[in-house]
Amino acid sequence: MPDTLSIKRVSASSSALIPLESLRSGGPVYSKLVDISKCIGCKGCEVACKEWNDLKVEQTTNFGSFQSHKDLTPNTWLLMRFNEVEDGDDLNWIIKKDACLHCEEPGCLFACPAPGAIVQYQNGIVDFNQDNCIGCQYCVSGCPFDIPRFDKETKTVAKCNMCIDRVESGLEPACVKTCPTNAIEWGIKEDMLAQADKKVERLKQRGYEHAALYNPGGVGGTHMMYVVPHGDRLEDYELPAHPTASPGQLRGLNFLQRIGSYLFGFGIISALVHFLAVGPEIPDENG
Amino acid sequence: MSTPLLRRFSFLERITHWVVGVTFVVLLLSGLAFAYPSLFWLTTFLGGGAAARVLHPQIGALFGVGIVVMFVLWIRDMFLDARDREWLGAIRHYVAHDSEKVPPAGKYNAGQKLFFWVQSLLGIVFVASGLVLWFPEYFSAGLLNTARLLHYAATLGGGLFLIVHVYLGTVAYPGTARGMIDGKVTPAWARLHHPRWSGDRVDH
């Protein structure tokens, strides 16, 4: 069944502060679930992402890793990161799908000054609308996961859009569709949470006592969640332990902006009152 | 019969003042557009949001150059002396236009001197944080967010200063603005607002 895309939040608008209620409440809220323990690092998802979203191919070089690109780019929205982490005498080979997590409380959207450049849908997808992007890159510093990438040619920012055109038509995102081991699953968020519980339980039975679900509360939860075998060592997966959608500096900025508009008004009114009280001081040209 | 006018500001001083003044107003309006979604339409005057994002820092660079020239031109006259401290003690008489009770000011009164120093400090904050925001790809997210906070805090100070500056220079003290237009003021204006300076001028 195709889902209509109803909007939840729009950047630089009142709905950035107070999310809109869905006209048809109870619509599906989706989530990806990435089981890091099941990924074999085939990078099929990377290819599917490039193909479906028609993203430019970039020349890659071997830098001593199975990793294809060094970093995400405006044309590489999904990157399998390969990291070798020493674990006592053992070596832990971590393969992590790096892409937008589609936060429930999106720091990028809160930081964005351009009306309509970032839109969050009721179904959980956070999408950039490059037509409205002004290229300031505030979303880059607003994102706790370092995901958006600036395109120097188009002077706009890009990231994973959760294959919104597929989701709109009732399909799963391309990376999910192509994954041969079901390491990436797709469904209603509640179902995915239940699925994650089972996966974590199974990992614990297999001896991964710190296995955990990554669905951080600091950003209101995410619509791409990870099942991590070593939940006590999130830094190994380059996942921030306490990501936040509103860092202290931006909270301070919002506070200043709110009192600032009153202060400017106060300044103008004070000048008016002063003028009415004492008037101009005119030099006596005959004195 | 026409009284001879006193020359208050040179051409270089005036052009520098207006470069800083005009760029600051344009920067303030486009900056407020970025700070307040309800004012985003102000970017229209610079050709829309994307163009404003490109032009704001370029105009800011010109503003920065202007601030530096201004600093070099005026710093010599801006150090506070003992009489300035008396002036500050009597600031309420100045505000009430009780000019007999205001200790005589030199070329600049203590308020103007403090304005100069605070404005120079704000200029440094504007330019330093502005450079970070101009080239975000070279800085960390934490530093960028801090730069946004500082840039706006400076805007608050600068915006309030602009209101006070324009008010005092135009409607509150008629005859003042002319010093920044053709560079001249009347002797009566100088005797009223800057007696020590007018004394200097008359004596020579």
Tell me the C-alpha distance between B153 and B175, whole Å.
Answer: 32
Higher pLDDT, A176 or B199: A176
Cβ separation B172–A275 shorter than 8 A: yes
Determine the Cα–Cα distance for residues A99 and A119; give it in Å rounded to an integer. 17
pLDDT at A5 (0 to 100): 82
Examine the pLDDT at A121 and tell me if it is beyond 90: yes
Residue with tokens 């509103």: A246
- Measured CA to CA, the distance from residue A198 to residue A195 in angstroms comes to 5
* pLDDT (0 to 100) of residue A196: 98
- The CA–CA distances, whole Å, from B57 to A94, A105, A174, B137, B161 equal 42, 30, 40, 15, 21
DSSP for B60-119, please give it: HHHHHHHHHHHHHHHGGG----HHHHHHHHTHHHHHTT-GGGSPPP-SS-HHHHHHHHHH
Supply the pLDDT for residue A88.
86
Helix (H, G, I), strand (E, B) or coil at A92: strand
Q: What is the value of pTM for the model shown?
A: 0.93
pLDDT-derived band at A3, boundaries 50, 70, 90: low
Give the start-end residues of each E strand in chain A: 7-10, 30-35, 79-87, 90-98, 118-121, 126-128, 149-151, 156-158, 184-188, 212-214, 224-228
Give the start-to-end residue ranges of the domains of chain B. 6-198
B53 at interface of A, judged by CB pairs closer than 8 A? yes
Gyration radius from chain B CA atoms: 19
Write down the domain spans for chain A.
Answer: 5-244, 246-278
Q: What pLDDT was estimated at residue B3?
A: 73
Residue among B120, B113, B118 nearest B87 (CA): B113
Give the model's pLDDT for residue B200: 64
- From the candidates B43, B46, B53, B101, which should be mutated to test the interface with A, based on the most A CB atoms within 10 A? B53
Q: For residues A21-25, give the mean pLDDT.
A: 65
Active site residues of B: 165
Does the CA dihedral B187-B188-B193-B196 come out positive or negative? positive
Quick check: B153 contacting A, CB < 8 Å? yes
Residue A244: left if φ>0, alpha if ψ -120 to 50, beta else—which one? Answer: beta
Whole-number pLDDT of residue A87 = 84
Looking at this protein, which amino acid is placed at residue B51? Answer: A
pLDDT at A26: 66
Band (pLDDT 50/70/90 cuts) for residue A287 is low
**Do residue B35 and residue A260 have CB atoms under 8 angstroms apart?**
yes
pLDDT tens for chain B, 204 residues: list them: 467 899 999 999 999 999 999 999 999 999 999 999 999 999 999 999 999 999 999 999 999 999 999 999 999 999 999 999 999 999 999 999 988 899 999 999 999 999 999 999 999 999 999 999 999 999 999 999 999 999 999 999 999 999 999 999 999 999 999 999 999 999 999 999 999 997 666 543
User: Which chain B residue is nearest to residue A144, measuring alpha carbons?
Assistant: B141
pLDDT at position A237, please? 95
* B 78-107 near A (Cβ less than 8 A): 95-97, 99
Q: Which amino acid is at B32?
A: L
State chain A's mean pLDDT as an integer: 94
Put simply, the answer to whether A132 touches B49 (Cβ < 8 Å) is: yes
Q: Is B52 on the interface with A (CB under 8 A)?
A: yes
Residues of A in contact with B161 (CB under 8 A): none
A158 vs B15: CA distance, rounded Å: 43
Q: What is the pLDDT of residues A58-98, one digit of tens each?
A: 999 999 999 999 999 999 999 999 999 998 899 999 999 99
Q: What is the pLDDT of residue B203?
A: 41
Q: How confident is the model at residue B2, as a pLDDT? A: 64
Give domain B6-198's CATH number out of 1.20.950.20, 3.30.1330.10, 1.10.150.530, 3.90.550.10: 1.20.950.20
Q: How far apart are CA A203 and CA A182, in angstroms?
A: 16
The pLDDT of residue A2 is: 45
- What pLDDT score does B168 carry? 95
Beta-bridged to residue A87, according to DSSP, are A90
Cβ contact, residue pair B149, A113, below 8 Å: no
pLDDT, tens digit, 9 for 90 and up, residues A214-237: 999 999 999 999 999 999 999 999
* Nearest chain B residue (CA) to A150: B137
The model's pLDDT over A35-59, given as tens digits with 9 standing for 90+, comes to 999 999 999 999 999 999 999 999 9
Considering the four listed CATH numbers 3.30.1360.40, 3.40.50.10540, 3.30.70.20, 1.20.1250.20, the one that applies to the domain covering A5-244 is: 3.30.70.20
pLDDT for the residue numbered A4: 67
**A267/A260 Cα distance (integer angstroms):** 10
CB B132 within 8 A of CB B147: yes
